[in-house]
């Protein structure tokens, strides 16, 4: 066993993952890779946002194919109980190949140059090959690919390459443009059209085109989450898989603090090209393990990460942010995020990058914020960046708006809404209730710190515009209905007629939360007078 060749590391990584009580079996991916072994299309690149299981799958693939962990009888307790064991290809390919596994995010100690970085990989591979093929006369001065070609000529050995985080090098501070070109040339020489390559499986966050505008790595077929259907179910958790994990949680958690609906609200919402919905896998596992709902995936990159992508052209996306933060979908084209777009300037480039990074999801020509985990980050952004102009100013009014609502101060509510209307916001044309809803949502943005705010939630006999579920026992529940060219009293009448308040009497968990009043809030806007009117009525008062 070597550092890179037939390393025991991926086997150890996958064994740890498999022992987790919240393990999900994705081993059928191996069965989809087997048919391309040794074929022309044996170069596969999987691009996904971080924390979507790329490293787990890479470790699984390397652990399965490598000869390093082969038992004498051809069995393996690690894989014998998994889905792949039912495949007709299982015994034929289990531990039958020399595997080169490289995690490109690893660096030498005190690494300050590309030469130091790449030398560790090249020298390590050469040493592994010399140790493995001791009967061959291998010169350390030969180029790495010439050594591997020589090994193939003498032994007919064909290698499986599993290259994880291949694009990590581009995010290292010491890498120059010349270094990038040399790195791409290294990968090309090592892999492209090399007969000793049985399979090249590569993972990264950004597509190859981001870094390679030429033909260096054009042998790879890329599979992303937004437009590629193949392999989509192996990265992220499907609804049925989360159901299974939640059953495990119910049987093992001493004190159950999380509902199944909580998991859906917080971590579901990513869409694949096949139309399947995916949960963020890391977040689901950590929430169930910790028995706590919070932002896990985005904890490594705060709201400034979102701002990074929009900062070069705030004007083109400012109005969209109002709609997105209110739960609406925004129409756009998703183009190829290529090397030419090192600085994101157009609206299409911005959204393409944000989808690739998992900060938005994409379906049927529209982008949207997938879940509460990310929605919280957008809310924080809107409350923090004055460069967002009217969006920031309205968001800062939202604490005052919530307090006015809870104290039945309709005059202040109307004043804040009029302030919103007098901004320069082009979205405030109020052509329909969707635009009114987006602005009202912005005016209540601070409420999301203490409420779970749902849009168009099924309630009673219809769908309510907004329903505010308090996350603290001392707060009132709020039902908010909007009307254009009508009256706030008509909005409240609809709330009562449709029995929207029944939504607060749902599950036992909900009943424990809603210990105070339920407020019916009606907000109207007149296109003729350009005025807002508000009314509040108490529907339920336990005192």
**pLDDT averaged over 10-residue windows placed end to end, the chain, 543 residues:** 92 94 97 95 92 94 89 76 95 95 94 95 96 93 96 97 94 90 94 96 84 77 86 94 97 94 93 87 95 78 69 86 87 64 76 87 90 89 87 88 96 90 59 76 88 74 85 89 93 93 64 71 90 92 66
CA gap 317, 311 in Å, rounded: 10
Report the pLDDT value the prediction gives residue 300, as an integer from 0 to 100.
46
Sign, Cα dihedral of 335, 339, 341, 343 = positive
Report the pLDDT value the prediction gives residue 338, as an integer from 0 to 100.
46
Report the pLDDT value the prediction gives residue 216, as an integer from 0 to 100.
83
Q: What is the 3-state secondary structure (H, E, C) of 440-504?
A: HHHHCHHHHHCEEEEEEEEECCEEEEEEEEECCCCCCEEEEEEEECCCHHHHHHHHHHCCHHHHH
Length of the chain, in residues = 543
How far out from the chain centre does Cα 454 lie? 21
Cβ-Cβ contacts under 8 Å for 496 (sequence gap 6 or more): 520, 539
* Residue 287 DSSP SS3: helix
Long-range contacts of 122-128 (CB under 8 A, 24+ apart): 124/2, 124/3, 124/4, 125/4, 125/5, 125/100, 127/2, 127/3, 128/2, 128/3, 128/4, 128/5, 128/6
CB 374 within 8 A of CB 359: yes
* Residue 428 DSSP SS3: helix
CA distances to 161, 369, 513 from 181, in Å:
21, 35, 58
Q: Which of 242, 246, 234, 201 is closest to 220 using CA atoms?
A: 201
Q: Which ranges constitute the DSSP H helices of 192-302?
A: 239-252, 260-267, 281-290
Report the pLDDT value the prediction gives residue 210, as an integer from 0 to 100.
67
Report the pLDDT value the prediction gives residue 50, as an integer from 0 to 100.
82
């Amino acid at each position: 066993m070597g550092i890179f060749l037939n390393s025991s590391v991926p086997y150890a990584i996958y064994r740890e993952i498999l022992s987790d009580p919240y393990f999900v079996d994705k081993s059928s991916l191996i069965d989809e890779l087997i048919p391309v072994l040794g074929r022309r299309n044996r170069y596969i690149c999987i691009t996904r946002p971080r924390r979507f299981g790329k490293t787990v799958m890479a470790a699984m693939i390397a652990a399965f194919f490598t000869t390093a962990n082969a038992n004498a009888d051809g069995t393996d307790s690690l894989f014998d109980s998994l889905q792949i064991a039912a495949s007709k290809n299982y015994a034929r390919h289990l531990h039958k190949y020399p595997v080169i596994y490289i995690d490109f995010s690893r660096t030498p100690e005190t690494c300050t140059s590309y030469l130091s970085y790449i030398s560790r990989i090249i020298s390590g591979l050469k040493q592994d090959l010399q140790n493995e093929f001791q009967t061959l006369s291998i010169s350390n001065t030969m180029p790495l690919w010439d050594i591997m070609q020589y090994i193939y000529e003498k032994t007919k050995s064909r290698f499986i390459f599993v290259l994880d985080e291949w694009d990590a090098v581009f995010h290292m501070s010491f890498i120059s443009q010349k270094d990038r070109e040399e790195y791409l040339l290294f990968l090309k020489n090592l892999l492209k059209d090399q007969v000793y390559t049985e399979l090249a499986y590569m993972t990264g966050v950004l597509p190859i085109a981001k870094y390679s505008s030429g033909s260096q790595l054009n042998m790879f077929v890329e599979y992303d989450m937004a437009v590629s259907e193949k392999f989509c179910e192996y990265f992220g958790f499907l609804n049925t898989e989360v159901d299974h994990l939640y059953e495990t949680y119910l049987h093992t958690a001493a004190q159950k603090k999380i509902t199944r609906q909580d998991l859906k609200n917080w971590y579901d919402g990513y869409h694949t090209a096949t139309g399947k919905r995916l949960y963020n896998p890391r977040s689901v596992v950590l929430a169930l393990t910790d028995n706590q709902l919070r932002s896990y995936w985005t904890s490594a990159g705060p709201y400034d990460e979102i701002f990074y992508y929009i900062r070069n052209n705030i004007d083109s996306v400012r109005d969209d942010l109002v709609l997105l933060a209110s739960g609406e979908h925004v129409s756009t084209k998703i183009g190829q995020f290529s090397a030419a777009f090192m600085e994101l300037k157009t609206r299409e480039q911005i959204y393409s990058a944000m989808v690739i990074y998992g900060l938005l999801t994409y379906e049927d020509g529209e982008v949207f914020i997938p879940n509460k985990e990310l929605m919280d980050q957008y809310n924080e952004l809107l409350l923090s960046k004055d460069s967002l102009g009217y969006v920031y100013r309205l968001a800062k009014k939202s604490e005052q708006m919530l307090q006015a609502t809870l104290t039945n101060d309709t005059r202040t509510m109307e004043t804040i809404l009029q302030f919103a209307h007098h901004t320069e916001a082009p979205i405030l044309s109020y052509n329909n209730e969707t635009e009114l809803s987006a602005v009202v949502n912005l005016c209540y943005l601070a409420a999301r710190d203490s409420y779970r705010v749902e849009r168009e939630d099924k309630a009673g006999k219809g769908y309510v515009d907004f329903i505010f579920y308090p996350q603290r026992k001392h707060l009132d529940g709020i039902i908010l209905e909007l009307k254009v060219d009508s009256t706030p009293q008509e909005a409240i009448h609809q709330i009562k007629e449709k029995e929207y308040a029944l939504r607060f009497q749902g599950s036992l968990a909900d009943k424990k939360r809603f210990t105070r009043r339920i407020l019916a809030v009606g907000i109207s806007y007149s296109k003729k007078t350009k005025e807002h009117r508000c009314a509040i009525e108490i529907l339920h008062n336990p005192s």
